[in-house]
Amino acid sequence: MIQSGPPCRPMILSMLLTHAAEFRERPFGGERTVKRITILTLTALLLAGLVQVGPAQANDISEKWGLGATFGEMKLVGGQNDYSNVDQNFGLWYRAGLTPRWSLDAAFRFGYVRPGVTTPGEDAGLTFDSSHAFYTNIMHGTLGVRYHFAPDRRFAPYAGLHAGFLDFRVRDEGGNSDVALIPDGEIVVGYDESGRRNDLSSAHLTLGATLGTEFFFSDAVSMDLALRYSQLLDNSLDNIGASVFWGPDHTDANDGLVEAFVGLTFYFGGNSDKDDDGIPNENDACPEVPEDMDGFQDEDGCPELDNDGDGLNDDCDQCPDQPEDMDGFQDEDGCPDPDNDGDGVIDASDSCPETAEDMDGFQDEDGCPDPDNDGDGVLDAQDRCPGTPQGIAVDANGCPLVEEIRAELVLEGVTFASGKAELKSESFAVLDRVATSLIAWPLVEIEIQGHTDSTGGAEMNRQLSARRAEAVRDYLMLKGVAGHRMTAVGYGEDDPIANNNTREGRAMNRRVALVRMDKTE
């Protein structure tokens, strides 16, 4: 099983340092050596990521410090000719996190380049090859700052600026820095063609910039991929060495160094819980703000000032886990009021949500109080005849005036089963009001008239209308109206009030009407 955590770090660094020593001691190991070092180093970098504990995520480097190693390729540029090949370098760095976005880097890199051409005047371009017995050893120490553009991402692009001190030395295959070449091509150590020592080495101040991205495997390990440029100040010396064997016309005094590298950094220290809410920064969506620990989504590390999202902060909300319905009724307490008027009818079904239903058995389902159920203008509280049929004039007590029952009064809403004298249930409320009025006026005598349309035979219609009139009389008697005050008569189809040729007309002709028969004024 792969072990995780800090014990793996010394092993990785040791591997990288071993590779560095190998190419410093044997710079002419050939293409196979270069490939082997590159593959092993990149493998080590990947393994370092695989052995880390915890999910890969964005991390805050403030208050942390890190140690790292880099491996990459470099090329000298900016000279009179393009003679430098692309070759390898190795580095170590120290990084101090200042804020989530800013860090300070101190780095030391060393490596070498060689002539990448075999013919004077050629351009080396991006070649990795060289057949020359010279190489330029480069050591470069820098101090810089860098800025992370997205510190809240695990892929964190950055830009940096640095200043440093660079030392280069052109050496022969044996590592000697005093080199010369006699005309037949044989290397002579220590002298040029005129018998003078030829020392191609120098040191310069540098200024430069870096663009890259840092990928966090965990809060303790990251990998850098970057491109860096350094400008050598005031260099006029051939730092490739071509002038030694091709003459002064082929000097390549480069004043720029381009590097592409991959780096591995191990971070230490830092505050693992900045807001002291008990949730580690790596799991805390709000690492700078403490969780309120109120039992609502506490695992995310962010305080929820308004748990129910109703716009009222929990410290002012009497129902912090139930959103206020914001209907204009007591919204300031934060508690929903499903029945504002408290009448038992939920506001969603209440036509009058701010006014309580009177619950008197009349249209109570709509939630609106009905102070005058029969609509006669006399409030129910003072109405002695609260069920007066509509259209009948009433006195101050809400009871029908005698003279208003003289003409025919059609009882709207009194219906029967088709072809039968059986009252439908919707007729009862109308007849109850009629009974109340008749009881209130004991001297009134009425004729209950039954009428039909012209459908069917005349005699059959007359008999049906008579049975229906009798059914109404029986119901009123059941409600307390004396039978001797009521006469039931069936008129059949003889007294239409509308055209029997239309559906609407026939419906109007099928009716029950009341006509006053007493002679009392």
Does position 17 have pLDDT exceeding 50, yes or no?
A: no
> Which is higher by pLDDT, 379 or 472?
472
Does position 80 have pLDDT exceeding 80, yes or no?
A: yes
Please name the residues in contact with 450: beta carbons below 8 A apart, sequence gap of 6 or more.
464, 465, 466, 467, 468, 469, 472, 488, 489, 490, 491, 512
Comparing 11-25, 233-247, 341-355, 492-506, which segment has the lowest mean pLDDT? 11-25
pLDDT attached to residue 8: 40
Output the pTM of the full model: 0.49
CATH 3.40.50.450: does it fit domain 8-269?
A: no
Phi, psi angle pair for 326, to nearest 5°: 50, 55
Does position 475 have pLDDT exceeding 90, yes or no?
A: yes
pLDDT band for position 86 (50/70/90)? very high
pLDDT attached to residue 52: 42
Task: Say whether 379-516 and 8-269 share the same fold.
Answer: no
pLDDT attached to residue 62: 81
Residue type, 152: D
Does position 444 have pLDDT exceeding 70, yes or no?
A: yes
Q: Which pLDDT tens digit goes with each residue over 309-353?
A: 677 676 776 777 667 666 667 667 767 666 666 667 776 676 777
Mean pLDDT for 368-397 is: 69
> Which is higher by pLDDT, 267 or 53?
267
d(CA 452, CA 468) in angstroms, rounded, equals 10
Does position 399 have pLDDT exceeding 80, yes or no?
A: no
Residue type, 321: D
Domain ranges, ordered by start, for the chain? 8-269, 304-335, 338-370, 379-516
Comparing 111-115, 178-182, 251-255, 476-480, which segment has the lowest mean pLDDT? 178-182
Q: Which pLDDT tens digit goes with each residue over 151-171?
A: 878 899 999 999 999 999 888
CATH 3.40.50.300: does it fit domain 379-516?
A: no
Return the structure tokens found at 346. Answer: 């939920």
Helix (H, G, I), strand (E, B) or coil at 508: helix
* DSSP code at position 193: T
pLDDT band for position 177 (50/70/90)? low
Return the structure tokens found at 233. Answer: 């100040």
What mean pLDDT, rounded, does the chain reach? 77
Q: Which pLDDT tens digit goes with each residue over 57-67?
A: 456 788 889 99
Mean pLDDT for 176-185 is: 51
407 close to 515: Cβ distance less than 8 angstroms:
yes
pLDDT attached to residue 95: 96
Please name the residues in contact with 61: beta carbons below 8 A apart, sequence gap of 6 or more.
95, 97, 100, 103, 148, 151, 267, 270
Comparing 120-124, 137-141, 320-324, 459-463, which segment has the lowest mean pLDDT? 320-324
For a pLDDT cut of 90, what percent of the chain falls above it?
32
Q: Whose structure tokens read 């966090």?
A: 216
Helix (H, G, I), strand (E, B) or coil at 211: strand
pLDDT band for position 471 (50/70/90)? very high
Q: Whose structure tokens read 């790292």?
A: 68
Does position 389 have pLDDT exceeding 50, yes or no?
A: yes
Mean pLDDT for 124-147 is: 89
pLDDT attached to residue 437: 79
> Which is higher by pLDDT, 439 or 288?
439
Phi, psi angle pair for 349, to nearest 5°: -110, 5
Maximum mean pLDDT: which of 38-42, 198-202, 359-363: 198-202
Q: Which pLDDT tens digit goes with each residue over 403-434?
A: 555 567 788 889 898 889 999 998 898 898 88
* DSSP code at position 182: -
Return the structure tokens found at 492. Answer: 């059949």
pLDDT band for position 472 (50/70/90)? very high
